[in-house]
Amino acid sequence: MEINEILHGTENALFLVRRNDLLEFATTCANQILKSKPEPPQAQEIEKPISQPEAIKFLGKSRQTLISWRKKGVISAHTLGGRVYYLKSELLAALK
């Protein structure tokens, strides 16, 4: 029986494997799975939202301009507990 037949066949196969070989195989499989998973975002990669007064200072615009832009969809905002927050990256992208 060929190795491809064993790997891709539908029949069951019984193997006699040494302990060390099995451990090495399991370790290799686990490492391949871990390498294929995406890395979780690091704490410094997660952008902290800024408040509306901070956004006004950041952009150098008036409060009314900020509200007007938000209503027109020029900039995006996020609300939490009735408060409005912005991401600096989104503000910069909207200005381009």
For the chain, how big is the Rg over CA atoms in Å? 28
Look up the pTM and report it.
0.53
Rounded (10°) CA dihedral 10, 14, 15, 16: 180
Report the pLDDT value the prediction gives residue 32, as an integer from 0 to 100. 85
> What element of type H or E holds 43?
none
Report the pLDDT value the prediction gives residue 17, as an integer from 0 to 100. 87
Nearest alpha-carbon partner for 1 in 20, 86, 45, 11: 11
Local confidence pLDDT in tens for the 96 residues of the chain? 576 776 677 777 777 889 998 889 889 888 888 888 877 766 567 789 999 999 999 999 999 999 999 999 999 999 989 999 999 999 999 888
Give domain limits for the chain. 3-36, 44-95
